[in-house]
Structure 1
């Protein structure tokens, strides 16, 4: 449009815009801190939230679970050894497998031969065995097949007795020992992770913050430790030390902090050269204050995420050491020792292995999913506006 034509326009066509204090600088969306944004992103992650709930339940059960029935940890009696799971009310639903019976299939040249094998297998308690013919025999080898259901609680005159997850080879309640073992495994994992944080964050932070010769010397030491397989160090330490919780924690902490130290060093090197840190140094802020108020808050996210991944690793190492006989030893219980005991009886009494193995898997999966959720929550690129 021509400039002369603009001058010919009437002033009545233009209305001045009134400025109001309550709307001129109105913020369209609420302001949130980084931690608030991270928490909001985490709680939007449904798998992570489910993992948090599961872990809380597991932790609470490890505290209160052993006291939910009248059986004690060392309350043992060989007469009630290897009893199958039996839960009140649920025992009436046979397909759940918690009705207190032992079930097994037997083969023979005919039904009588297969039945005879079943009776011999179940302590010749013929009056308490139900036989169901699955396949008639023709006289040839293993041509007949029967299914035997052994009502062991009735046979042992224990109709009013309940072992919710069965009993172990010494007659101890598996439910009580399962949660006591979970408690031991979690204590070892959390203590080892806490020591990894204290040692790794301190070592990596000091190395990166001071730099120069200090960093060179500290990193050469770190490289030597990284070059030695941590599993070899752990096994050697467990052979030298007396088996127990303290020795396992020490063995896990010898090299467990190395990964944390390297991650923290990289983050501190990146942050210490930024403007707000340089400004604090220019103003004469002491090093301790810079570390406490500027560096640690900015690397807290990566520390939390790395810790969430180190806990399941510690749980696995404890289970592995106990499984091969170098960790928690009987009569103490841990998930690894319970799995070891169940593995020895897997063919005849699979429930001794299934319950601790499933619980160990659930704990490790939940921690890993939570770690993934925390990693996304502390990544600003993942925050949805």
Structure 2
């Protein structure tokens, strides 16, 4: 192996060695871009693909809650019992039966023999034998319920409605489910967002004042919170409905009576950690009023935890409204919300499952979306996650 040539700095021509002229200003210059904490948080959040997908999905849902009810000719009060419980039918998808948008009803029926099972199917579908297709699954041997058939009922043809299309079917009163689902989504989102914003305002103000002034003020305000937190929400809801008319206003009021307590306690804990910091003492020394210190110095420094808590509050309020409407003490029909639609679908689950499936999927997507966005914001406002 040949020996490697050794180079000496003395062999380098001196005309190639040019001294670098560096000023004191250049030596202190930072080569990388300077970003604020909020810029870092935004950058981290935008890199979170799951959170950004959730934002897109929720924006689409909000858009459809605005324009969805006007996308067909069926209004909220457009009801007709002759078209009650019609299955979903979409023009572009009606030839793909496995998608469930072909406008047919199907079920399996049992009997001692094929004839008896078929007769049960025909009776179930209004005795319209000409519009019922029967597929034999099990021939049977004459014993009890040994034969089984699958019946498909072409209800649109049976009711002479071949030119009608109900994209998500109709309910028990013949109202279009597409229109009612998006109107119900609008109501549920409005209740959740309004309740969360009220909780935000009251909770931040209450918790901030309690922690900032401390002493006897803090003691009295915390005793009030302890009294309110001991009252079950459901009891308050029932009292509100007895005093007020059941509806959107009574639900919002009931949700906000105790809903702000969680926000207030979180804000109080954060303010207690910050109120003795140097920047707060400097503001007091300069004669800044207490109100300005809270609004301009303390609240901006806890804005991250406030935003995260609010994003977790919205799906909780939506779910609570759906629960109240489901048990019959929330939004009152004919007004629509996701809770009332799920309640109607639950009552007809066995025979008409589509009445439950679509609103249940929608409320699940909304709640999961808000929680994923909240998780993304929590990571974004965590300095340890910034790279």
Query: Does the pair score TM above 0.5?
Result: yes
1:259 paired to 2:262:
yes
Structure 2: how far apart are the matches of 1:41 and 1:174?
A: 40
Matching residue of 2:253: 250
Residue 323 of structure 1 contacts residue 339 of structure 1 at CA under 8 Å; is this kept in 2? yes
Give SS of 1:90's match.
coil
Distance 1:20 1:83, change over 3 A: same
Matching residue of 1:221: 224
Structure 2: how far apart are the matches of 1:177 and 1:161?
A: 17
Matching residue of 1:101: 104
User: What is the CA-CA distance between 1:210 and the residue it aligns to?
Assistant: 1.0
Residue 252 of structure 1 contacts residue 314 of structure 1 at CA under 8 Å; is this kept in 2? yes
Structure 2: how far apart are the matches of 1:21 and 1:209?
A: 45
Give the count of matched residue pairs: 373
User: What is the CA-CA distance between 1:247 and the residue it aligns to?
Assistant: 0.3
Matching residue of 1:212: 215
Matching residue of 2:161: 158
Structure 2: how far apart are the matches of 1:322 and 1:353?
A: 14
Query: Please, what TM-score do these two structures have when normalized by structure 2?
Result: 0.94
1:129-155, CA deviations, whole angstroms, 9 ceiling, x for partnerless residues? 111111111111111111000000000
Residue 102 of structure 1 contacts residue 150 of structure 1 at CA under 8 Å; is this kept in 2? yes
Residue 243 of structure 1 contacts residue 329 of structure 1 at CA under 8 Å; is this kept in 2? yes
Give SS of 1:145's match.
strand
- Choose the corresponding residue for 1:347, options 346, 350, 370: 350
- Choose the corresponding residue for 1:286, options 279, 286, 289: 289
Matching residue of 2:171: 168
User: What is the CA-CA distance between 1:288 and the residue it aligns to?
Assistant: 2.3
- Choose the corresponding residue for 2:29, options 26, 33, 44: 26
Query: Please, what TM-score do these two structures have when normalized by structure 1?
Result: 0.94
1:296 paired to 2:299:
yes
Unaligned runs of 5+ in 1: 1-12
User: What is the CA-CA distance between 1:317 and the residue it aligns to?
Assistant: 0.6
Matching residue of 2:315: 312
1:64 paired to 2:67:
yes
- Choose the corresponding residue for 1:78, options 39, 64, 81: 81
Structure 1: how far apart are the matches of 2:327 and 2:267?
A: 33
